[in-house]
Structure 1
């Protein structure tokens, strides 16, 4: 499942590399590119609550396999699309199909491993998935120049189809004897009541706020405008910008491995998330406030944001700890809805912000436009951290004591 997750990360991050190519080929502006990028996340977010029901009723194996078939169909439409509206539809379907991947994988981890291993194993899964981000940088830039972006996405479609087959044949929902395998599936009305129980949990709401904003702000740099910014403001070539983004993804993977075990070492999740996100705010502020910096400054900031972006996974781990097993599917899907809806909204808003500034004679966006975008990201993330800081922590030691008592 972690290997299949690579395809999701590749699809969501690809526009940072081929975005300018899409704008030229389809004759669209930054607003349309932002909407195209956001469509993936709107589709992704739209499927989170339905997938939560499907996870709790049918299990992750059947749910993920079925959704990957939908992603395959979306990928075919994307590859063959002659116009922007059809391309948009294909990308939205891909997002919807990939909407089951992360939570399905985390549910399998939850049911096969003890709770104090969840953060570490989730970090490993996300680190493997980030190989998709790696492939979406320099390798995609090279493949796009050599064969065209449509051929690259054709290879992705084949990979998705093979992943669906592999998951159906290999994955099992839970180990033998697990209560999930012996459960009586809830009727639809009871499942809806469970969702309402999740939404009424007051401990969830400050977590949802940071879920909505954290990944949205970092991905806007890492997954959409970081590459165009380096090319249009600092004059880097597509391959050079791709190399920077490649290094940022490697930094993100290192961050996943570094942040994963910290909750067990420090016995906190909330304050790890707060500290990591505050560090991201400081780097975004540098990009927003430094006029005409030497190129190593934004490169260093982008690499730092890549490493520190891993702190957003601690927010998801924090939220997982407030739900009982019978509500984990719906609870985690609700949290992931906030994550992906936040990204979708921020991608769309970012295109509007850049589009509000008059382009240069060359057609490129100005440094002022990009700095305005980074300023908005700084303020949004800082506000979300302030709200999240009022949440109640869930310590790994408390979870282990509770599990020992129930054993």
Structure 2
């Protein structure tokens, strides 16, 4: 029971991290109402969370393997709360960027710590199910981070919401520190984690064609989740669709977040079977691209918001499924001793992709209208059409990589 309680506290920390990183689309319109900022500045400040998150990943993964994921997350949550408090008090764009950077660094260990904990504190045959649960509950924060947090910001203001989240973070950190007194969580030998270096995870990824190829579809999935659903989705809908309200746009993106949880739930149940399906990463990539096409056409052609909600939900299902199955493949490839280290390296690549997508998307949206051929074309639709093309190319490449023979 103690292990499950600690696991639930770690889930709570991941919930908060997912909430904040997914809420940019509803936080920054409120911030921009007080502080004048262009889409480029919004994209840059929002992306600062991922700069901090990405930079800290290798260190957090190493600490989770060689020391304790519980201690690592506890320290991270304290830093996370400092970033939230700073965001609640400042009114200067550069300070908003610093606060997002601190929050990102504090959130960095939440996911790799969960994987390290569940890989070593529980039996390996339930890893897929626990991973599904991790994504379901963690990404429930992504759902809360859109419509519920948007409504709360409308009522109380973004400053009070950030301060309240900071207090909750401190409480979870203190509870985790108390739970550490129960002893060492690990079942497995820690020598592999202690002898690994910060570069071990990167070397492991580079030496495995499967893992390096898997990173492509994994990165695509996270870009869609964090840049589309988390950042531009609500703004894209309200600026492009001819007959949709802000509340309806929030519902559409909220259903995308619910789809992430739904896909993660079923992938967690059937993950051990799905990873043995031939070309499963390619099939997931194809479904991601098709769901993005459906959503883009629906928004661009001003379909009824209910239909757009369905497309958003299906996109979320594919994102959640891809995330869970990718983690199960990773665990089967490397085992439990280096799961934190390799996950940290893996996340560096993924979130550099997210960072670049958020920065480039803001720049693209800012300047797209200046081109002569852009008349009548939504810059948001144009940007996500680029992702459709990229996803199709990734699917073609994944067709040349076999995943089933080592994982069956």
Fold shared, TM-score > 0.5 on shorter chain: yes
Aligned to 1:349: 360
> 2:207 aligns to what SS in structure 1?
coil
Q: Tell me, yes or no, if structure 1 residue 383 matches structure 2 residue 390.
A: no
Task: Indicate if the aligned counterparts of 2:52 and 2:101 stay in contact, CA closer than 8 A.
Answer: yes
Aligned to 1:227: 234
RMSD of aligned Cα (Å): 2.6
Distance in 2 (alpha carbons) for counterparts of 1:17 and 1:315:
29
Aligned to 1:321: 332
Task: Indicate if the aligned counterparts of 1:18 and 1:144 stay in contact, CA closer than 8 A.
Answer: yes
1:206-229 per-residue CA deviation (whole Å, 9 max, x = no partner) reads 122223322112322210111112
Distance in 2 (alpha carbons) for counterparts of 1:72 and 1:9:
14
1:200-249 per-residue CA deviation (whole Å, 9 max, x = no partner) reads 42333212222332211232221011111222222433322222222222
Structure 1 range deviating more: 345-354 or 381-390? 381-390
> 2:114 aligns to what SS in structure 1?
helix
Q: What stretches of structure 1 of length at least 5 have no aligned partner?
A: 360-364, 399-407
Task: Indicate if the aligned counterparts of 2:121 and 2:186 stay in contact, CA closer than 8 A.
Answer: no
Aligned to 2:256: 248
> 2:194 aligns to what SS in structure 1?
coil
TM-score (norm 2): 0.87
Cα separation, partners in 2 of 1:262 and 1:165, compared to 1, 3 Å: same
Aligned to 1:194: 200
**C-alpha displacement of 1:76:** 1.4
**C-alpha displacement of 1:68:** 1.3
Q: Tell me, yes or no, if structure 1 residue 106 matches structure 2 residue 123.
A: no
> 1:186 aligns to what SS in structure 2?
helix
Task: Indicate if the aligned counterparts of 1:72 and 1:160 stay in contact, CA closer than 8 A.
Answer: yes
How many residues align? The count is 389
Q: What stretches of structure 2 of length at least 5 have no aligned partner?
A: 1-9
> 2:340 aligns to what SS in structure 1?
helix
**C-alpha displacement of 1:356:** 1.5
Aligned to 2:24: 15
Aligned to 1:161: 170
Cα separation, partners in 2 of 1:273 and 1:82, compared to 1, 3 Å: same
Distance in 1 (alpha carbons) for counterparts of 2:202 and 2:115:
22
Aligned to 2:97: 88
Task: Indicate if the aligned counterparts of 1:231 and 1:238 stay in contact, CA closer than 8 A.
Answer: yes
TM-score (norm 1): 0.87
Aligned to 1:32: 41
Distance in 1 (alpha carbons) for counterparts of 2:55 and 2:200:
18
Aligned to 1:370: 380
Task: Indicate if the aligned counterparts of 1:127 and 1:257 stay in contact, CA closer than 8 A.
Answer: yes
**C-alpha displacement of 1:148:** 0.8
Q: Tell me, yes or no, if structure 1 residue 179 matches structure 2 residue 189.
A: yes
Distance in 1 (alpha carbons) for counterparts of 2:220 and 2:116:
23
Q: Which of 97, 122, 125 pairs up with 2:131?
A: 122
Q: Which of 131, 136, 142 pairs up with 1:133?
A: 142
Cα separation, partners in 2 of 1:25 and 1:384, compared to 1, 3 Å: farther
Task: Indicate if the aligned counterparts of 1:350 and 1:373 stay in contact, CA closer than 8 A.
Answer: yes
1:287-327 per-residue CA deviation (whole Å, 9 max, x = no partner) reads 44565232334333212111211123112321232214432
Distance in 1 (alpha carbons) for counterparts of 2:376 and 2:89:
33
